[in-house]
Amino acid sequence: MSAESLLVNVEERGAAGDATDEFMRRMLKLPMGDKLLSCIQCGMCSGSCPLGYAMDYTPRKMIAALRAGRVDDLYRSEAIWLCVACFNCTYRCPVGVPITDRLIAGLREELLGRGVGVPPELQAAFERTSRYGNPFGESSKKRDAWIEDAGVEVPVLQGGDSAEVLWWVGCFGSYNKRNQKDTIALARILHALDIDFGILGTDERCSGDLRCTSQGEEGLFDVLYHHNIEQLGKRKFKEILVGDPHAFNAFNKEYRRLGTPLDVSHYTQFLAERAPDLKRRAKKEITAKVAYHDSCCLGRRNGEYEAPRVLLETIPGVRLVEMPRNRENALCCGGGGGANWLDSYVWQRTRVPLAMQRVQEAAKTGAEILAISCPLEVPRFEDAIKTSGLEGRLQVREISHMLAEAIGLNGGVRP
């Protein structure tokens, strides 16, 4: 069944303009949706989009198409699925058009609703998240299996339990073998700092990451939200510590918007507050030039650029260098917007994968370590390093793992 055959129905409803009216009516009902009307067609969005060159409809052209009453062209376009939700366009728009969160998300929602043109890998990720609470399709009962290898006690809070800090581990940190060592590192750091913490264990489900991975799948986010706040409500805690910037964004922005304000911080922010203590403990040197990659969800979306750098500077031997595109100008690793599942799809339509561009940029600064704070980046940059032939010259390391090494906590955990 092609996109063509199902879109025939749209045209049968009258002029193509009707479908556009319907789309715009939906947009206008949403907060900030009316900003779509304020677009001045300056092209800042298209210019700052890292994949704009591969899109038949760049963000600016998408709005132009809407104005011409041609939303069907957008429904047929593959550009919608190339968006990595890096937020560059929205960040730079001079009139504040919510491109990522309204325009792209709205178009995706329409296509997801029709079951048309949806890349099957993305479909599978949504179905697995819906069923198992994680996009990998692994058993929800195995979500906290990683704690067996932690080497320190990781308290699992049952209903009625309390702790000062609730540590939200996240899907990647829990299940992905390449990220588990970093999760374990963080567990050991929290232990060393005597933090009274606990995790939800198997009651934790994907945060939903509405604005990024789950663009257009509000229903899924809704179900996960309700499950998660019910589980959170059963425990007593003062603040939430999140390992994953995607989950951090979900809690900080969306949960708050939906009526559940939480005192939440990303682990780099949490630890940066304790920087002097960490600096005292960090006795082991990591002598290297380190470039920090600002993740989109922590950086552009939530404005946190300094905490990770503060942490890196507590490590003796580390010399921070900056990539040309740093902080709000950082180049996305290419894993957002569901693109983490769409590598095949995206790579067939673009030239150089974003992750490869980024690691080459890091290597050019002379950095030996590319430090990151988002678990998606570990496999993406590691693979890009191999494909770019930079193996041996550049290493990807999660900040928690580097800190734990500096404090001498990484024994028995494979590097």
Among 283, 392, 412, 414, contact with other proteins (rule: CB under 8 A): 414
**Those residues with Cβ within 8 angstroms of residue 372's Cβ, 6 or more apart along the chain or in another chain:** 292, 293, 295, 378, 381, 396, 397, 398, 399
* Residue 245 beta carbon to other proteins: minimum distance, rounded to whole angstroms: 23
73 binds other proteins (CB under 8 A): no
Residue number, 140 or 231, with CB nearest to other proteins: 140
The span from the CA of 348 to the CA of 147, in Å, is: 39
Q: Does 389 bind other proteins (CB under 8 A)?
A: no
Contact 289, 322 (CB under 8 A): no
Tell me: does residue 316 bind other proteins (CB under 8 A).
no
**In sequence order, what DSSP letters do the residues of 261-276 get, joined into one string?**
---EEEHHHHHHTTHH
For residue 13, CA distances in Å to 16, 20, 110, 113 come to 8, 11, 16, 18
Inter-residue contact 381 to 355 (CB < 8 Å): yes
Residue from 3, 219, 310, 350 binding other proteins (CB under 8 A) = 219
Q: Specify the residue, 91 or 132, whose C-beta has the smaller distance to other proteins.
A: 132
From candidates 31, 120, 366, 389, binder to other proteins by CB under 8 A: 120
**197 three-class SS:** strand
Per rule CB under 8 A, is residue 126 in the interface with other proteins?
Answer: yes
Among 344, 352, 389, 408, binds other proteins (CB under 8 A): 344
Binding flag, residue 280, other proteins (CB under 8 A)? no
Residue whose entry in the numeric block shows the structure tokens 């799948």: 217
Q: How far apart are CA 4 and CA 153, in angstroms?
A: 56
Span of 79-87, 105-113, 275-283, 308-316 interacting with other proteins by CB under 8 A:
105-113
What is the DSSP secondary structure assignment for residue 260, as one 8-state letter?
-
In whole angstroms, give the CA distance from residue 21 to residue 279: 58
Q: Which range of residues in 214-222, 268-276, 317-325, 392-400 is near other proteins by CB under 8 A?
A: 214-222
> Taking CB under 8 A as the rule, does residue 194 contact other proteins?
no
Q: Does 141 help bind other proteins (rule: CB under 8 A)?
A: yes
CA distances from 80 to 32, 52, 58, 89 (A): 20, 11, 9, 14
Q: With CB under 8 A as the contact rule, which of the stretches 21-29, 285-293, 344-352, 368-376 interacts with other proteins?
A: 344-352
- Give the C-alpha distances (Å, rounded to integers) separating 401 from 94, 155, 181, 373: 39, 20, 7, 10
DSSP annotation of 156: B
Under rule CB under 8 A, residue 203 binds other proteins: no
Which part of the chain contacts other proteins (CB under 8 A), choosing from 25-33, 119-127, 147-155, 363-371?
Answer: 119-127
Report the interface residues with other proteins, using CB under 8 A.
Answer: 1, 5-6, 109, 112-113, 115, 118, 120-121, 123, 126-127, 130-132, 137-139, 141, 177-178, 216-220, 222-223, 341-345, 347-348, 383, 386, 414
